[in-house]
Amino acid sequence: MDIWKIGSRWSDTGEESKTVLNIFDKHGIVFAGKKTNKIMNKVKEGDLIAISDGLQIVRVGKVLSSPRKITDFEIFDESDKARFHYNDWVVGFRVSIFKLDKDEMISTKMGTFHAIKKDAKKIEDIYNNKILKSSL
């Protein structure tokens, strides 16, 4: 199992309801338009995802499907599509997503997509705690 960090940019207004992160939460799908070859060739079902809103990891999740073109999902409405590049070169995958509490958030380096090594154990522990709490 690998752990991947993926970024989600905020809207121009800073309103969370108008962000790509909001689309990730709403549909349980994470996607990126950069590093698509790396995503297609490396991300696999069962990997963990750490989603950042810039310099903080604010969500964690487990990959539930292999990566594919975002246009294959056919679930986004027009307001969703207006917030990101809805093109064949955008790659996405289904993820079970958990929101982190303020004290669980982890500082991370900038970047759209990269492997996480330094905080891998901490992220795995947070994810496992979220799974445990959700099953109670």
Sign of the CA dihedral running 129, 56, 22, 72: negative
Taking only the tens place, the pLDDT of each residue in 23-47 is: 999 999 999 887 788 888 899 999 9
Taking CA atoms, 44 is separated from 2, 32, 67, 68, 85, in Å, by 8, 15, 7, 11, 23
Sign of the CA dihedral running 14, 20, 107, 124: positive
The domains located in the chain, with CATH, are 3-134 (3.10.590)
If you search the block for the tokens 């709490």, which residue do you land on? Answer: 133
Which residues in the chain show pLDDT less than 50? none
CB–CB of 115/86 below 8 Å?
no
Taking CA atoms, 113 is separated from 15, 23, 77, 119, in Å, by 23, 17, 25, 15
pLDDT at 114: 87
Please state, in angstroms and rounded to a whole number, the distance separating the CA atoms of residues 40 and 26. 23
Residue among 1, 11, 18 nearest 60 (CA) = 1
